Structure 1
Amino acid sequence: MSGLKRSGGIFDYDQRSERLVEVEREMEMPAVWDDPERAQALGKERSDLDLIVSTIDNLTAGLSDAESLLELAVEEDDPDTVTEIESDLETLDAELEKLEFRRMFSGEMDANSAYLDIQAGSGGTEAQDWGNMLLRMYLRWAERRGFKAEIVELQEGDVAGIK
């Protein structure tokens, strides 16, 4: 995970960290508040950058701590500490997945609504049943991720599923 800071890549830590400093410096200037729209845009950008930078800092620190504790646990032959470290690493991995998910939906248009059209097409009852499984899967995915999902139109299949 130390590569999070050095590698650039999808999180581009160095660039985001530098931009965060620039934005904070710009927000400290009194003239920025003369343009409320600009001030609001800078505030949102600062918030987004701070979330990413602080999350990467926390992940890096957590991994470093886990590495140090693991070395001590191995030296002391302490399986309980190793188990606790594994739990901590799972938590760090979950945080990394959340960060990656936020990165995937960080574009200018990503806050807008989307339509998903599921059509069974040809294949009869099995295709209609598969379409219904996909519908349930996407609805659950959206619910778990905190997205609002709504069925606009639905046509039931003849025997099972959806058309």
Structure 2
Amino acid sequence: MAIEFPIELAALRNTFTQIEAVLDPTSLRERIADLEKQAAAPDLWDDQENAQAVTSALSAANSELARVTGFERRIEDLEVLVEMGEEADDADTLAEAEVELEKLRKDLSAMEVRTLMSGEWDERNAVVTIRSGAGGDDATDFAEMLMRMYLRWAERHGYQTKVLDTSYAEGAGIKSATFEVNAPYAFGTLSVEAGTHRLARISPFGSADKRQTSFAAVEVIPQIESTDHIEVPESEIKVDVFRSSGPGGQSVNTTDSAVRLTHLPTGIVVSMQDEKSQIQNRAAAMRVLQSRLLLLKKEQEAAQKKELAGDIKASWGDQMRSYFLYGQQLVKDLRTGYEVGNPQIVFDGDLDGLIDAGIRWRRAQQSQQD
């Protein structure tokens, strides 16, 4: 069936116009001009933390504007290509236009998802923590598989990551790991991955060749910023120092540089061991602790508002996705119903379909509650 290019091009234009209205290139240019002015200040690097925030925000804003203007050019180029192909009745040119049309559809869909993120902290970097659950060696191995999956996803998109802490299991895999993903809307994007993940497979660690089910928990919090002003009194923190260790408990550091902070009022525990010094690890641990306290405060406020409004519905529920590595070979999101029939590509970082479906599902849930 031949493609109706005029209809398809009009649909692309309509989608792009809606996206452009939300992203607002004019305001984006004004923001870039303001950030460029701040970046040009001679005393910018007197405050390194602020300087890094300004330069990072400027880079992100420029990238966002380039994406929007780039789509405008691509649509115009496609319109010209279609016109040339139809005038010359050139099948090869029209086939090329069809390929570009499909690419534009896919890329516009991804950008449209960005417009669905309007949460208070959606624009921020993300701090992801993965913890193994029930399932013994299979669970700790699964936790490591998930960590690799998210790091590969970030790598595919060119996002910077930094591993902050890794607690290795005595057998296979990891007990837990914490890492940062530094990218525009990293928190808004990855927050739909929070919850309990379930793996079902024939265990490579057992001798009976029986199916093993194991679990791992994923936590996603926004990265703290200097403007958040979350005060944590020293009297509320217990500090422990210890030596960093590698797989199987092997020591990788001969000094007590690793730091564990326990927030006494809430019981929140944060460990850091991947920085070079105790001071750096403590600073990194404090940032993550502040982020968790910030999110906890927001959750408590939201819960209180729901209670006052008479809305006592729970959130998504813990078990949000299952990975089947036997028989049917399937990854299924239990909230959205989205399925991928090739688990290996998912574990290799091909998560965009699952994440986009999660973001659209979340927006639909929010609309129902409004």
User: TM-score band (shorter)?
Assistant: 0.5 to 0.7
Once the two structures are superposed, residues 7-48 of structure 1 have per-residue CA deviations (whole angstroms, 9 ceiling, x without a partner) of: 852111111122112212321222222222222221222122
Q: Normalising by structure 2, what TM-score?
A: 0.31
8 Å Cα contact 1:20/1:49 also seen in 2: yes
Aligned to 2:86: 74
Q: What amino acid is the match of 1:24?
A: E
Structure 2 distance, partners of 1:46, 1:79, is: 44
8 Å Cα contact 2:29/2:65 also seen in 1: yes
Once the two structures are superposed, residues 117-153 of structure 1 have per-residue CA deviations (whole angstroms, 9 ceiling, x without a partner) of: 069xxxxxxxxxxxx8726946869961387xxxxxx
Structure 1 distance, partners of 2:47, 2:87, is: 59
What is the SS of the residue equivalent to 1:9?
Answer: helix
5+ residue gaps, structure 2, are 1-12, 123-186, 196-315, 320-331, 341-345, 356-370
Q: Normalising by structure 1, what TM-score?
A: 0.64
Structure 2 distance, partners of 1:55, 1:68, is: 20
Structure 2 distance, partners of 1:57, 1:83, is: 25
What is the SS of the residue equivalent to 1:109?
Answer: coil
Q: 1:83 to 1:143 in 2, by over 3 A?
A: closer
Aligned to 2:243: none
Matches within 5 A, 1:55-66: 55-66=67-78
8 Å Cα contact 1:66/1:88 also seen in 2: yes
Structure 2 distance, partners of 1:7, 1:137, is: 26
Structure 2 distance, partners of 1:33, 1:42, is: 10
Once the two structures are superposed, residues 77-100 of structure 1 have per-residue CA deviations (whole angstroms, 9 ceiling, x without a partner) of: 112211211211211222222222
Q: What amino acid is the match of 1:33?
A: W
Of 351, 355, 358, the match for 1:144: 351
5+ residue gaps, structure 1, are 120-131, 148-163
8 Å Cα contact 2:19/2:115 also seen in 1: no
Matched, 1:15 2:215: no
Aligned to 2:317: 117
- The percent of aligned pairs where both chains have the same amino acid is 29
Structure 1 distance, partners of 2:17, 2:57, is: 20
Q: What amino acid is the match of 2:68?
A: I
8 Å Cα contact 1:5/1:14 also seen in 2: no
Structure 2 distance, partners of 1:133, 1:5, is: 31
Aligned to 2:50: 38
Aligned to 2:98: 86
8 Å Cα contact 2:19/2:112 also seen in 1: no
Of 32, 41, 56, the match for 1:29: 41
Task: From the two aligned structures, give the one with the greater helix fraction.
Answer: 1
Structure 2 distance, partners of 1:135, 1:97, is: 20
Of 52, 56, 62, the match for 1:50: 62
Aligned residues: 135
Matched, 1:134 2:334: yes
Aligned to 1:161: none
Consecutive aligned runs of 4 or more in structure 1 exceeding 3 Å deviation: 1-8, 102-108, 112-116, 135-143
